[in-house]
């Protein structure tokens, strides 16, 4: 399943706010969920997973037993960065260079950037226009992942996720920057497998 505007749905209209995205996503996800299940989200995906879990709960549906959130600050914390989703294309490219993770040959290819920039602009809009609404913590455990050299998200901002769940919380910091899940992939997968096994053991007791 792809969100609109990605891969095989590249020509589709893109979501620019999280509430609309979650409302559209929930009926697509519900038929394939089989408890117990885990949501894993990287960057914007962490925010989507969190709000989707809250939306499922509001509808009286099964919710994840565990959340894995990566490279995104706790949702109640303000964004310390200036908004970029309305910047000119040239300035967005500069921002992408600062973040790293996008090959220079892609950034230097105008036709590719014509395809990617509207998608990235929509994603930034989702994150930058998000307004957190207070609600009860989720009845699940949570693992927060971050990069030691990530200029976007600090360990303290990741620790804030603990206030949004009732179960056990783990904070894991890996070598690398914002794209540590690529550069430290083997280590990330090994520790995630360990955490999920621990969740399953708790369910069996």
Q: Cα–Cα distances in Å, from 3 out to 11, 103, 165?
A: 11, 23, 26
120-150: pLDDT as tens digits: 899 989 999 999 999 999 999 999 999 999 9
Question: Which pLDDT score, from 0 to 100, does residue 6 have?
Answer: 53
Mean pLDDT, residues 44-67 taken together: 97
Specify the fold of 7-204.
Answer: Rossmann fold (3.40.50)
For the question of residue 43 being annotated catalytic, the response is: yes
Handedness of CA 44, 130, 65, 177 (dihedral sign): positive
Mean pLDDT, residues 3-22 taken together: 71
Mean pLDDT, residues 6-22 taken together: 73
Query: pTM to 2 decimals?
Result: 0.88
**Among candidates 164, 141, 154, which has minimal Cα distance to 47?**
164
* C-alpha span between 193 and 184 (Å, rounded): 14
Question: Which pLDDT score, from 0 to 100, does residue 81 have?
Answer: 83
Mean pLDDT, residues 157-167 taken together: 98
Question: Which pLDDT score, from 0 to 100, does residue 103 have?
Answer: 81
Question: Which pLDDT score, from 0 to 100, does residue 10 have?
Answer: 45
At 8, the pLDDT band (50, 70, 90 cuts) reads very low
């Amino acid at each position: 399943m792809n969100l609109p505007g990605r891969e095989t749905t590249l020509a589709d209209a893109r979501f620019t706010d999280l509430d609309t995205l979650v409302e559209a996503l929930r009926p697509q996800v519900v038929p394939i969920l089989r408890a117990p299940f885990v949501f894993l989200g990287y960057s914007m995906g962490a925010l989507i997973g969190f709000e989707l879990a809250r939306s499922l709960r509001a509808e009286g549906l099964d919710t994840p037993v565990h959340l894995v959130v990566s490279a995104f600050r706790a949702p109640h914390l303000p964004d310390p960065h200036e908004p970029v989703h309305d910047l000119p294309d040239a300035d967005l490219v500069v921002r992408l260079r600062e973040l790293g993770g996008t090959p220079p040959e892609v950034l230097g290819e105008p036709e590719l950037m014509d395809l990617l920039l509207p998608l990235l602009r929509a994603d930034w809009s989702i994150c930058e226009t998000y307004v957190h609404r207070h609600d009860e913590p989720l009845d699940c455990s949570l693992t927060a992942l971050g990069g030691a050299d990530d200029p976007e998200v600090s360990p303290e901002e990741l620790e804030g996720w603990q206030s949004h769940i009732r179960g056990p919380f783990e904070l894991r910091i890996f070598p690398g920057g914002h794209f540590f899940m690529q550069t430290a992939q083997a280590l990330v997968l090994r520790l995630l497998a360990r955490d999920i096994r621990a969740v399953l053991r708790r369910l069996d007791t």
